[in-house]
Chain A
Amino acid sequence: MGLFIAQLLTGLANAGALFMVASGLSLIFGVTRIVNFAHGSFYMLGAYIGYTLMQVLPGAVGFWGAILLAGIAVGVIGMLVEILVLRPIYRAPELFQLVATFGVILVVQDLALMVWGPDDLLGPRAPGLRGVVRIMGEPIPKYDIALLVITPFVALALWYLITKTRVGILVRAATQDREMVGALGVNQAWLFTGVFALGCALAGLGGALQLPKGGADLLMDFNILTAVFVVVVIGGMGSLPGAYLAAVIISVLNVFGVTYLPQSTLVLMFVVMVLVLMVRPYGLFGREEVAGEHGQVGEPERPIKPAGLQVRLLVAAGVAALAALPLFGSNFTQVLATDILIFCLFAASLHFLLGLGGMVSFGHAAYFGGGAYVAALLVTHADTPMELAFLLAPIGAGMAAIIIGWICLRLTGVYFAMLTLAFAQLLWSLVFQWGEVTGGDDGLLSIWPAPWLSGTTAYYYFALVLSVGGILFLRHVAHSPFGYALRAARDSERQAEATGIDTRRVRMFAFAFAGMMAGLAGGLFVFSKGSIFPNELEITRSFDALIVVFLGGVKTLSGGIVGGAFFKGVEDMLTRYEYWRLAMGLLIIFVVIVAPDGIVGTLRKLAERAGLLRRAEDET
């Protein structure tokens, strides 16, 4: 009994920081509709800044003052990010902003590395709260007790702000209908900035508060991000009580998980999330999302038409050039080109889902890594010949996509996105923690292609044929009746249903098809590298694909491909430098601001303006 209580208390204490970070994310999303991927980075900054301030400021006052100041400092940084990075792109299509926040993640990672170095920092103990107290014989750190007391006060203050003040009323009004709030004379820009700063300050506060428990390190941004997404989704996007309850559930679950099921702590969190969402699709306290109710209607889509002769010739020339590459390119160039081709296929499969189907998946890496692992597991454990294992990669990924899609497709919008992320993370944590079978963190090695494909050039041609073939196939399906049905379902569910399209079925098929193509890319990947590690299933890999699709341009079929080539090419160039993340992050932010239609979309607009291309309206 004593142990039980002790664990409950530890769980509740841990919930504090998690709640603060999650409530910040939730607030920001509610008002600005931005899914702030960089929220974990603000949490990390809070920890680092708090650490430095604690070194400088003496005593108990210094300690608590440092926590408060860290929160404020991070709030100010958040404000700057909002004004400089996000404000110019509020009018961009929905979800485009998350690409910019991803750029912020990269920038913050390298800045933290520059300022605080690569080593983990041990958080200082809170003055006067160093020891433990015994509750029913079990030791409980005094600092945990302090957190237990502090968190409700923060929650209460936040609750007061949101429910009782004018600012809070405006925030809630804007969460529902921000256009109307603007028409009533409220300057939305400052409301957005204020909320963003407040959300970031909360994240910073959470980061600084957990210093004595967890210290500061360069991985904490992504580590908390997943947990925070889970909390916000379980609680319901935009709901503070929901965030609190969910933070408690997840934290307590984690503490018990460590004791009773140490092998599956990560899996547990996602299982709970999936279960909650299956019963309550919009979270415990969430409100149903209605598309377009927030007065954010993008420019109408231009119809995507089959390629004209010009484009066909261009593509043929490109493929011919790629085919000729081994004649003059070095071994190294061929390896790089193989990487790029595989990545382009992966990105194109996500583009199919996102651009054509309107389904934003945050967890597309599940099918890429999933396909790769299917092949690798077959080779490792069943001595399957490469050809068969390779064939089963897309099939395995497609089957996973069918199961996951079946569950996720009951939701739409950001909830769908979050749930796909949860499943990807579930798969990742399974692979990561089930070491006997998957090799865990050490991955699976010696997954080599069959002898006839073992040369670099041979494999290059293999990858070329299958990637280009896969991309052309995706294109072909996009222009088939199925592709039109998919777009109809995306543009207007009701109209599509009225014309006899079973939208759910169409989406299901599209999801499985995109998963299969991602699995094909994964199969190509694993045999090109000869090994596979869990990071191919990670959240960052999913984000890479998302960035590429958005950067390339959601509205153009070539977006995924151009974006993929651009991203991989630049990455290859930049990773040679020490602070490549900083450069990459700044580049992403730059592209997002100057080219909110994506690279392809913006090039096309420029070409239209210059008269090189006919405008779409002339053709119809």
Chain B
Amino acid sequence: MLELSAVNSFYGKAHVLNDLSFTVARGQVVALLGRNGAGKTTTMKSIMQLVVPRSGKVTFQGHDITGSAPHKVAKLGLGYVPEERRIFTDLTVLENLEVGRQPPREGSYAWTTEMLFDLFPNLAERRGNRGKALSGGEQQMLTIARTLMGNPSFVLLDEPSEGIAPVIVEQMARVIIQLKQEGLTVLLSEQNLHFARAVADMAVIIEGGTQKFTGTLDELNAHPEIRDAYLSV
């Protein structure tokens, strides 16, 4: 469904992604793993074309999206959930969801705010509150809900468990599994295996912008030395 081939991305002169190549098949949850500064966020942005790869190709559902405007990428059904909960703090929960709203595509899910409030009950009570009044966990849920309002078929989740209370992380894991069961494809980035282990089928490990491992979670579990070398605990 999504394919990166030999993607190289830069910030000015800094070469941050080095020949990244992997694929994500429909219905899979793939974990993109690596330490802080490994290049996970840059990979996500390179898929969304918020950072345009200097060479290489990103294909989504057969379309070459390299160099497209981010809003066009989103319109194709790629949903981006940024790290650090970039919600619109001056807008209410409902207004945040409204920004994310896009008409459903053929075959895609058609989310409504009420369905999302069922998925994230905490948000339901706070629908009229401004973003800045929410707790960290609520803000993280809102970023996910906001992206789902665009009815994506594929979601990029950048470090969803970072800086969030364990109870909420568990809730988040349940949501992701539920979404997967409903046919959503997910690429998820994390610094460690805790959260990924619960939800992912495959893992891609990067370090310094270079791919170090690609395979199933079982394969990864069979090689603890890889985990120790490239991931934080």
Q: Do A and B come from one complex?
A: yes
Q: Which residue of B is nearest A297, CB measured?
A: B11
B39 at the interface (CB under 8 A from A): no
Interface size on A, residues (CB 8 A): 23
B48 at the interface (CB under 8 A from A): yes
Q: Which residue of A is nearest B77, CB measured?
A: A185
A188 at the interface (CB under 8 A from B): yes
Report yes or no: B71 in contact with A176, Cβ–Cβ below 8 A: no
Q: Which residue of B is nearest A298, CB measured?
A: B12
**A177-B86, A177-B88, A183-B48 are contacts. A169–B70 as well, Cβ < 8 Å?**
no
Q: Which residue of A is nearest B82, CB measured?
A: A180
A166 at the interface (CB under 8 A from B): yes
Report yes or no: A299 in contact with B69, Cβ–Cβ below 8 A: no
A-B contact count (CB 8 A): 68
Most buried by A among B69, B71, B90, B100: B71
Report yes or no: A185 in contact with B88, Cβ–Cβ below 8 A: no
Interface size on B, residues (CB 8 A): 27
Report yes or no: A183 in contact with B99, Cβ–Cβ below 8 A: no
Chain A residues contacting B90 (CB-CB under 8 Å) are: 172, 175-176, 287
CA distance A110 to B200 in the complex (A): 65
B46 at the interface (CB under 8 A from A): no
B102 at the interface (CB under 8 A from A): yes
Report yes or no: B88 in contact with A173, Cβ–Cβ below 8 A: yes
Chain A positions 175-212 with a Cβ under 8 Å from a chain B Cβ: 175-177, 179-189
Minimal beta-carbon separation of B131 from chain A (angstroms): 9
Report yes or no: A185 in contact with B91, Cβ–Cβ below 8 A: no
Minimal beta-carbon separation of A295 from chain B (angstroms): 8
CA distance A299 to B69 in the complex (A): 19
Report yes or no: B150 in contact with A187, Cβ–Cβ below 8 A: no
Chain B positions 79-138 with a Cβ under 8 Å from a chain A Cβ: 80, 82, 86, 88-91, 95-96, 98-102
CA distance A153 to B99 in the complex (A): 27
Minimal beta-carbon separation of A536 from chain B (angstroms): 40
Report yes or no: A184 in contact with B147, Cβ–Cβ below 8 A: yes
Q: Which residue of A is nearest B81, CB measured?
A: A183
Chain B residues contacting A175 (CB-CB under 8 Å) are: 90
Report yes or no: A166 in contact with B74, Cβ–Cβ below 8 A: no
Minimal beta-carbon separation of B159 from chain A (angstroms): 16
Minimal beta-carbon separation of B2 from chain A (angstroms): 16
Chain B residues contacting A300 (CB-CB under 8 Å) are: 11-13
Q: Which residue of B is nearest A186, CB measured?
A: B71
Most buried by A among B12, B13, B69, B99: B99
Report yes or no: A183 in contact with B70, Cβ–Cβ below 8 A: yes
Chain A positions 129-187 with a Cβ under 8 Å from a chain B Cβ: 166, 169-170, 172-173, 175-177, 179-187
Chain B residues contacting A180 (CB-CB under 8 Å) are: 82, 86, 88
B212 at the interface (CB under 8 A from A): no
Minimal beta-carbon separation of B83 from chain A (angstroms): 12
Report yes or no: A182 in contact with B70, Cβ–Cβ below 8 A: yes
**A172-B90, A173-B88, A173-B91 are contacts. A186–B12 as well, Cβ < 8 Å?**
no
A617 at the interface (CB under 8 A from B): yes
Minimal beta-carbon separation of B135 from chain A (angstroms): 19
Minimal beta-carbon separation of A176 from chain B (angstroms): 5
**A169-B99, A170-B99, A173-B99 are contacts. A187–B88 as well, Cβ < 8 Å?**
no
CA distance A181 to B147 in the complex (A): 11
Q: Which residue of A is nearest B14, CB measured?
A: A300
B57 at the interface (CB under 8 A from A): no
Chain A positions 291-322 with a Cβ under 8 Å from a chain B Cβ: 299-300
B50 at the interface (CB under 8 A from A): yes
Minimal beta-carbon separation of A311 from chain B (angstroms): 23
CA distance A300 to B14 in the complex (A): 10
Most buried by B among A182, A184, A287: A184
**A179-B50, A300-B12, A300-B13 are contacts. A184–B89 as well, Cβ < 8 Å?**
no
CA distance A263 to B148 in the complex (A): 62
Chain A residues contacting B99 (CB-CB under 8 Å) are: 169-170, 173, 181, 184, 186
Most buried by B among A182, A287, A300: A182
Most buried by B among A169, A180, A185: A185
B197 at the interface (CB under 8 A from A): no
Report yes or no: B86 in contact with A182, Cβ–Cβ below 8 A: no
Chain B residues contacting A299 (CB-CB under 8 Å) are: 12
Q: Which residue of A is nearest B74, CB measured?
A: A185
Pick from A170, A177, A179, A617: contact of B13, CB below 8 A.
A617
CA distance A175 to B69 in the complex (A): 19
Report yes or no: B89 in contact with A176, Cβ–Cβ below 8 A: yes
Q: Which residue of A is nearest B13, CB measured?
A: A617
**A172-B90, A172-B91 are contacts. A184–B12 as well, Cβ < 8 Å?**
no
Report yes or no: A188 in contact with B71, Cβ–Cβ below 8 A: yes
B26 at the interface (CB under 8 A from A): no
Pick from B11, B69, B91, B100: contact of A184, CB below 8 A.
B100
Minimal beta-carbon separation of A566 from chain B (angstroms): 28
Q: Please, what's the 1-or-0 string for B138-167, where 1 marks a CB less than 8 Å from any CB in chain A?
A: 000000001100100000000000000000
Minimal beta-carbon separation of B62 from chain A (angstroms): 19
Chain A residues contacting B102 (CB-CB under 8 Å) are: 184-185
Most buried by A among B75, B86, B146: B86
Name A's B-contacting residues (CB within 8 A).
166, 169-170, 172-173, 175-177, 179-189, 287, 299-300, 617
19 further contact pairs, Cβ within 8 A, besides A173-B91, A186-B99, A300-B12? A169-B91, A169-B98, A172-B88, A176-B91, A177-B88, A179-B50, A179-B70, A180-B86, A182-B50, A182-B69, A182-B71, A183-B71, A184-B71, A184-B102, A185-B71, A185-B75, A185-B100, A287-B90, A300-B13
A and B contact pairs by CB, cutoff 8 A, 30 listed:
A170-B99, A172-B88, A172-B91, A173-B91, A173-B99, A175-B90, A176-B88, A176-B90, A177-B86, A177-B88, A179-B50, A180-B82, A181-B99, A182-B69, A182-B74, A183-B70, A183-B71, A183-B74, A184-B80, A184-B100, A184-B102, A184-B147, A185-B71, A185-B74, A185-B75, A185-B100, A185-B102, A287-B90, A300-B11, A617-B13
When A and B form their complex, which 8 residue pairs have the shortest distance between CB atoms, in order from nearest? Answer: A185-B74, A300-B12, A173-B99, A182-B70, A173-B88, A183-B80, A185-B102, A187-B71
